[in-house]
Amino acid sequence: MQCKSTNIPSLVDAIATLASHLPEEAKIAVHLRCQLLAFGYYDNVIDLWNIATAVLTATLKLHEGVTIGTIKSITFSSDGNLLAAGSEWHIMRENVILQSVAFLPDGKLLASGSTEGIKFWDTATGVLKRTVKAADPHSQQDTVTNFHYYIEYHFLQFGCRIRTVEDMALRATLLLLTLGLAWTADAAPSREVKHVLHEKRDSLPERWTKRDRVPRDKLLPMRIGLAQSNLEKAYEHLLDVSHPDSANYGKHWTPEEVIKAFQPSDKTVESVKTWLTDNGISSKRITHSDNRGWLAFFATPDEAERLLKTEFHEFEDSVTGGIMPACDEYHVPHHLKEHVDYITPGIKLLAPVDGQNRIKRDNMVRVVSEDKSKRGKTLTRRVNHALRDPLEEGSARAEAVRAAMSTDPNDLSTCDVAISPACVAALYKIPPATRAHPNNSLGIFESELQFYTQQDLDLFFANFTPQIPQGTHPIAANIDGGQQSTTDPYYAGGEVSLDLQLAYPIVYPQTITDYEVDDFIVQSNPNDTYTFGFNTFLDALDGSYCTFSAYGETGNDPYLDQSYPDPGGWQGELMCGVYKPTNVISVSYGGQEVDLPLSYQRRQCLEYAKLGLQGVSFLFASGDSGVSNYPNSGDGPTGCIGSKLNVFNPTWPNTCPYVTNVGATKVYPGKTVWDPESAVFDPAGHPYSVNYSSGGGFSNVFPIPDYQQDAVANFFKEHNPPYPYYSALAPDTNDIQQMIDIDSLVGNTGGIYNRIGRGVPDVAANGDNIVVYNGGNYTLSGGTSASTPIFASVINRINDERLWAGKSPLGFLNPSLYANPSMLNDITNGTNPGCDTLGFSAVPGWDPVTGLGTPNFPKMLKYYMSLP
């Protein structure tokens, strides 16, 4: 290194300024001719500064895993090419402490002084050349110290980065760095690295107040979310095993293969680890998650601030009184930006959470009333599915329905009044099942205090399906304290009764697995209707999801998802990967896209793709409010969105392109099971308190997937809706608090629906006037909550036949459905009103009311059995 001459006095002030900011215990070395200053820390880190510009040019650390203690001495060779540093190293059997290092005048030898004496090292080879021990052990310390002062007097010292040399006899550590040329292969000096802004908070939420800097004696639990590999290829991978034209159709992946496909690359892991270890974070301090998605370590505030070029302050939450560390922005090296997803603590402000008082994001808190007098008969909470008011015993309506119903459960003449199992079988040409494959079970998701009673099941079996034995019940798969059943008819759940009593007549003797999610306390929280326990459900099916990092989130969201153990509730740990998912899972719950952050939706959507790769079919009810949500549901008095409350309101997680959505149809009065069905619509009033129509529309988050492009394009070409539209999707973001800004998407178009979003639903089935026993009473129910278990049961029956034939389950359904829509019954009549419009229309081909149509079991079975 060639150093220019300089005016030494002119640098004195600059040195004094830099030194004034150093800790008292820092060791300083200066090379005036090279205008360099170095100082060492207690944590074995050395900073190298340009004196003239006061710019930090490098941060250096002692060799990983070798030294532990305070840097005792640092020094430059006279030509500025070499730097040496020594530190304490206490060993159990030998308390050896290196006190001083200094170069001889010609720079060929380096002297190190310790509590055992003085050693001379060849700077070119690192070989120990000579050892001088003091005769009197009590004078050793003085001998070393005096030697050091003598060398310091003769040479200008300066601290810079280092390399390790270890004498096994002495068991002490010496570090040496050649500036510009590494002494050994792994001894390359740190270079100045350009840092770039990675995340910055736009504004501080009102509930938070920024306080003082984080105390220097605190430890920060650092977590670095690593950029996952191949996330953009999830759709491609899923199509490869799901599209009927693919040579790999049905060749589903193992859970291990899925984890490996999406885990951070080796380059990402090693790049970030190297950055950490190069900056003083020993590899022994770093934990790597099982799914390789994140790195964790504890750091002092000084370490964290030096790493991220920021300052950490304490932020106080006015709602909970909690304190958390965070920064306003942080930086990462330019070459790591593509490898780092997010870092915490960072800009995210997450209030402390306990199991009994979960704090939601301010703009998400909705207190929704619940009619406890009708518990188990109808839900008035914000569950986006309409359960029909019960038929009150002795009422005129109840008597009229009973009179219309034949005592013969197989009579099809009254299917326009009440839909029995025989009506469903006739509508979709479903023959009775005669066998059950041991590897096949229909999964049904339940939450929101939905407990079945065996009394209701037995009453239903006795009256409508006597071939099903009394006492038949689902397999219990309780998750995080979930409760499956009750003996008290007061607590019988209308949703679970509907699901089970629709599914059993189609699949029996196949089994049903009831996934009951979250403990009683969680399910009793009205705010839980915003997430429904989907994340804890997915955790239980796929253990890697518990720590999966994507879109700025790792694991469950502490605001939106329940944490376990839950005080007063489930005392166990969060259940991760405890259940093997069934081949088909029916879900009759859901909300709206606008109610959840974009990152939350996208991360969860990706998990459905990962499970689809493993051969799991997810079917979701599309919603019961047409193109809107229920009035006064939390999204405004009309259930529509935007500042004008007139924009259509798509459902979640239905718009995720990796699930299959089921809309609803109806046999209208005077029609029979041999007539074409129509899209369901029941106006507000008895028996419904609000309008009921098949949920459908277009996403504001996810684009139209390839498998749906032609169907949607045909709908717009042949049946263009008479409404203004907009063509914009919510941005990709790692900000876990960012919601959909509808007004920004609409812009000045005046549009009320999105022209480029994923279309919903995909298919449909009957969802009105369904006979149910609930709470010991005979009643009628309905909703896409009914349509979904019907379609899911059909798929489960087809899977059973494929398994007996030695084939794989169907897995992700949509590519095959859209590739062969003729196997479905096209619905061409009806609309799904909302937002003061008629909504969309059911038309020939796909439409956002009933999708591709209802099942035709013989055609579907023939088609799917023809696939490999």
- Alpha-carbon gap, residue 114 to 827, rounded angstroms: 89
Let me know if 660 is exposed, middle or buried by CB neighbors in 10 A (0-12, 13-18, 19+).
buried
The amino acid sitting at 353 is V
- Alpha-carbon gap, residue 664 to 787, rounded angstroms: 6
Residue 827 annotated as part of some ligand binding site: yes
Pair 187, 177: CB distance under 8 Å: yes
- Alpha-carbon gap, residue 505 to 422, rounded angstroms: 9
Residue 845 annotated as part of some ligand binding site: yes
Give the E-state strand segments of 11-53 in sequence order.
Answer: 27-31, 36-40, 45-50
- Alpha-carbon gap, residue 12 to 206, rounded angstroms: 47
Pair 173, 166: CB distance under 8 Å: yes
Q: What is the DSSP string of 227-265?
A: PPSSGGGHHHHHHHHHSTTSTTTT-PPPHHHHHHHHSPP
Determine whether 354 is an active site residue. Answer: no
Give the E-state strand segments of 737-860 in sequence order.
Answer: 753-754, 757-760, 763-766, 770-774, 777-781, 824-825, 854-855
Give the E-state strand segments of 448-583 in sequence order.
Answer: 475-479, 511-517, 549-550, 553-554
3-state SS class at 103: strand
Tokens 């619905």 map to which residue? 827
3-state SS class at 428: helix
| End-to-end CA separation in angstroms for the chain | 69
Determine whether 495 is an active site residue. Answer: yes
Using alpha carbons, select from 453, 434, 581 the residue that is nearest to residue 510.
434
- Beta-sheet pairing, 549-550 with 329-333: unpaired
Using alpha carbons, select from 41, 147, 52 the residue that is nearest to residue 85.
41
Phi-psi region of 87 (alpha: psi -120 to 50; beta: other; left: phi over 0): beta
CB atoms within 10 A of CB 820: 17
Q: Helix H segments across 665-730?
A: 706-718
User: Where is 175: in which H helix or E strand?
Assistant: strand 172-178
The amino acid sitting at 225 is G
Name the packing angle between helices 454-464 and 494-507 (round to 10°): 40
Using alpha carbons, select from 834, 387, 358 the residue that is nearest to residue 589.
387
Determine whether 785 is an active site residue. Answer: yes
Residue 595 annotated as part of some ligand binding site: no
- Alpha-carbon gap, residue 787 to 501, rounded angstroms: 12
Q: Please tell me whether the peptide bond between 558 and the residue prior to it is cis, using omega within 30 degrees of 0.
A: no
The tokens for 762 are 């995909």
- Alpha-carbon gap, residue 113 to 98, rounded angstroms: 6
Of 47, 278, 495, 607, which is the active-site residue?
A: 495
- Alpha-carbon gap, residue 454 to 773, rounded angstroms: 11
- Alpha-carbon gap, residue 832 to 852, rounded angstroms: 15
Using alpha carbons, select from 79, 74, 5, 9 the residue that is nearest to residue 37.
74
- Alpha-carbon gap, residue 103 to 488, rounded angstroms: 86
- Beta-sheet pairing, 441-446 with 584-587: parallel
Of 499, 518, 542, 624, which is the active-site residue?
A: 499
- Alpha-carbon gap, residue 371 to 513, rounded angstroms: 29
- Alpha-carbon gap, residue 614 to 609, rounded angstroms: 9
Give the up-direction half-sphere exposure of residue 89: CA atoms within 13 A in the CB hemisphere: 25
> Residues with Cβ < 8 Å from 314, sequence gap 6 or more?
210, 211, 212, 213, 214, 323, 324, 325
Residue 826 annotated as part of some ligand binding site: yes
Residues with a known catalytic role: 495, 499, 785
Residue ranges for the known binding site for Ca(2+) are: 826-827, 845, 847
Which amino acids are annotated as binding site, given as ranges? Answer: 826-827, 845, 847
